Amino acid sequence: MPELVVTALLAPSRLTLKLLRAFMWSLVFSAALVAAAVYGCIALTHVLCRPRRGCCGRPRRTPPACLNDPTLGEHCFLTLKSSGVHLHYVSAGRGNGPLMLFLHGFPENWFSWRYQIREFQSHFHVVAVDLRGYGSSDAPSDMDCYTIDLLMADIQDVILGLGYSKCILVAHDWGALLAWNFSIYYPSLVERMVVVSAAPMSVYQDYSMRHISQFFRSNYVFLFQLPWLPEKLLSMSDFQILKTTLTHRKRGIPHLTPNELEAFLYDFSQPGGLTGPLNYYRNLFRNFPLEPQELATRTLLLWGEKDPYLEQGLVGAISSRFVPGRLEAHILPGVGHWIPQSNAEEMHQYMWTFLQDLLN
């Protein structure tokens, strides 16, 4: 068929897709402006209630001692083959078994896996990374350095760069979004997967289109589409919005100590410390609309019944995309979003059972 005819036949579909994307972006930025107004009021209230803290975040001069706890393992750096980016990671239990690779979420870092590092280093080589843009890892300022494709290449480079051909991938929040995608495009590198509090992007997209209430739970995502303003709002009153997110009585991490809170705030308080993590969100809608994808990697999914950011209905939506018999899902009663830290023992029990045959 002549190329001109093919182009003519595809023109209506291409135009429709362009119009759909334009409509989507108009909605996203409208929602972003509304979210900016709401979060602006919240940040201003924090400043007025705590005037001594001022409008800017206080840069921390030294990291808290818990970030250098020798019982959590050895601090190392790896230069990634694909990009030359230097990633920081904490390693423990090398030689004790298969690679167990941990991917954290926002607003966290490798330290969010402290309980799992201690629990599993006796039978696995546990590695908790600071994802690109976080902690001591390189943090390019360009938004285009945080596309899903580049972030998945980082995971591949970590696995191969550590000398392994596959891993057990354990991930939470944003790390779990990457893990879902990674298991689809690099299935040979993932032996098992443990996912906590996150849905595949295509599942989240389709579910949110049918359940508008999920958009309201994830309202901060729209704020983060804007340039520079989110960084300013999150840092006001010495990062009070982040502090509230992590320590709130109902929605935060239970029993988080001041020292542990500082372990997360330390790197965000450094110049440009928030831009890299927020650039993950700024690339979130880049490939919209997403096609449904079949999920086949053997996966343990843990979900909090009281997760304030994600509805329970997403678990059923995830299950519907799986090859039968490949997903084991558990909804934890009365539990929120931060399962690796708030319900570590319960998570460990599910993981040991799920991985038992690998140990044998």
What are the φ/ψ torsions at residue 259 (nearest 5 degrees)? Answer: -65, -40
Using one digit for the tens of pLDDT, what is the confidence trace for 50-76?
A: 888 878 889 999 999 999 999 999 999
Q: Do 191 and 81 have their domain in common?
A: yes
Between the alpha carbon of residue 262 and those of residues 61, 102, 109, 256, 271, the distances in Å are: 11, 21, 12, 10, 16
Task: Please report whether residue 122 resides in a domain.
Answer: yes
Q: Do 170 and 297 have their domain in common?
A: yes
CA dihedral 5, 11, 12, 17 (to 10 degrees): 150
Using one digit for the tens of pLDDT, what is the confidence trace for 168-188?
A: 999 999 999 999 999 999 999
| Whole-number pLDDT of residue 7 | 56
At residue 294, does pLDDT exceed 90? yes
Q: What percent of the chain has pLDDT over 90?
A: 86
| Whole-number pLDDT of residue 140 | 96
Query: Alpha-carbon distance 80 to 96, whole Å?
Result: 24
Q: Do 203 and 215 have their domain in common?
A: no
| Whole-number pLDDT of residue 27 | 84
Q: Do 114 and 162 have their domain in common?
A: yes
Task: Please report whether residue 10 resides in a domain.
Answer: no
**b/e per residue 61-83 (b: at least 16 CB within 10 A):** eeebeebeeeebbeeeebebeeb
Task: Please report whether residue 350 resides in a domain.
Answer: yes
Task: Please report whether residue 335 resides in a domain.
Answer: yes
| Whole-number pLDDT of residue 17 | 64
**Average model confidence (pLDDT) across the chain:** 94
Element spanning 300, H or E: strand 299-304
Please report where in the chains the tokens 């068929």 appear, as a residue: 1
Number of domains in the chain: 2
Q: What percent of the chain has pLDDT over 70?
A: 95
Domain containing 87: what range?
65-207+290-358
Pairing label, strands 190-196, 299-304: parallel
What are the φ/ψ torsions at residue 239 (nearest 5 degrees)? Answer: 65, 35
Query: Alpha-carbon distance 128 to 126, whole Å?
Result: 7
Using one digit for the tens of pLDDT, what is the confidence trace for 195-220?
A: 999 999 999 999 999 999 999 999 99
| Whole-number pLDDT of residue 2 | 63
Q: Do 189 and 221 have their domain in common?
A: no
Task: Please report whether residue 304 resides in a domain.
Answer: yes
| Whole-number pLDDT of residue 103 | 98
Handedness of CA 72, 74, 79, 81 (dihedral sign): negative
pLDDT band of residue 115 (cuts 50, 70, 90) is: very high
Q: Give yes or no for a contact between 71 and 123, defined as CB atoms under 8 angstroms apart.
A: no
- Going by C-alpha positions, the residue among 144, 10, 111 that lies closest to residue 338 is 111
Query: Alpha-carbon distance 299 to 118, whole Å?
Result: 22
Q: Do 52 and 72 have their domain in common?
A: no
What are the residues whose beta carbons fall under 8 Å from the beta carbon of 1, sequence distance 6 or more? none
At residue 246, does pLDDT exceed 90? yes
At residue 8, does pLDDT exceed 70? no
Q: Give yes or no for a contact between 34 and 26, defined as CB atoms under 8 angstroms apart.
A: no
Q: Do 263 and 158 have their domain in common?
A: no
| Whole-number pLDDT of residue 289 | 83
The more confident residue out of 54 and 91 is 91
Using one digit for the tens of pLDDT, what is the confidence trace for 128-175?
A: 999 999 999 999 999 999 999 999 999 999 999 999 999 999 999 999
- Residues annotated as catalytic are 173, 281, 337
Q: What amino acid is encoded at 24 in this protein?
A: M
Would you call 172 helix, strand, or coil by DSSP?
strand
Task: Please report whether residue 138 resides in a domain.
Answer: yes
Using one digit for the tens of pLDDT, what is the confidence trace for 318-347?
A: 999 999 999 999 999 999 999 999 999 999
Q: Do 111 and 181 have their domain in common?
A: yes
| Whole-number pLDDT of residue 89 | 98
pLDDT band of residue 11 (cuts 50, 70, 90) is: low
Predicted model pTM:
0.94
**b/e per residue 34-49 (b: at least 16 CB within 10 A):** ebbeebeeebeebbee
- Going by C-alpha positions, the residue among 198, 174, 200 that lies closest to residue 292 is 200
| Whole-number pLDDT of residue 328 | 98
Query: Alpha-carbon distance 188 to 172, whole Å?
Result: 21
The residue count of the chain comes to: 360
Handedness of CA 290, 302, 176, 133 (dihedral sign): positive
Query: Alpha-carbon distance 226 to 79, whole Å?
Result: 31
Task: Please report whether residue 323 resides in a domain.
Answer: yes
Find the DSSP H helices in 121-211: 148-161, 174-185, 201-210
Would you call 132 helix, strand, or coil by DSSP?
coil
| Whole-number pLDDT of residue 107 | 98
pLDDT band of residue 12 (cuts 50, 70, 90) is: low
Q: Do 256 and 226 have their domain in common?
A: yes
Pairing label, strands 86-92, 167-172: unpaired
**Token duo for residue 141:** 């300022």
Q: Do 90 and 142 have their domain in common?
A: yes
Task: Please report whether residue 7 resides in a domain.
Answer: no
Q: Do 191 and 98 have their domain in common?
A: yes
Between the alpha carbon of residue 118 and those of residues 166, 273, 317, 348, the distances in Å are: 22, 28, 33, 11
The more confident residue out of 48 and 102 is 102
Q: Do 305 and 237 have their domain in common?
A: no
pLDDT band of residue 26 (cuts 50, 70, 90) is: confident
Spatial strand order in the sheet of 299-304: 74-79, 86-92, 125-129, 99-103, 167-172, 190-196, 299-304, 327-332
Element spanning 327, H or E: strand 327-332
At residue 14, does pLDDT exceed 80? no
At residue 10, does pLDDT exceed 60? no
